[in-house]
Amino acid sequence: MMRFLWPLALFLVLAGFLFFGLRLDPREVPSPLIDKPAPAFSATLLADPGRRMTRDEMVGKVWMLNVWASWCAPCRDEHPLLVDFAKKGLVPIYGLNYKDQRSAGIGFLRSFGNPFTETLSDPDGRIGIDYGVYGVPETYVIDRGGVIRYKHIGPLTPEVLAEKIEPLVRRLNG
Spatial CB neighbours of 84, under 8 Å, sequence gap ≥ 6 = none
Question: Edge-to-edge strands of the sheet including 148-153?
Answer: 118-122, 93-98, 63-68, 138-142, 148-153
pLDDT at 32: 82
- Within 13 Å, how many C-alpha atoms sit on residue 111's CB side? 9
Q: How many whole angstroms separate alpha carbon 120 and alpha carbon 73?
A: 20
- Per-residue pLDDT band at 74 (split at 50, 70, 90): very high
SS3 49: coil
Count the helix, strand and coil residues of the chain and give each as a percent rounded to the nearest 5.
45, 20, 35
pLDDT in tens, 16-39: 666 666 665 555 556 788 999 999
Average pLDDT of span 131-138: 95
CA separation for the pair 114, 112 (Å, rounded): 7
CATH of 31-173, one of 3.30.465.10, 3.90.870.10, 3.30.420.40, 3.40.30.10: 3.40.30.10
Q: Enter the pTM of the model.
A: 0.84
- Kindly report whether the peptide bond that precedes residue 137 is cis, defined as omega within 30 degrees of 0: yes
Question: pLDDT at position 4, please?
Answer: 67
| Per-residue pLDDT, 21 | 60
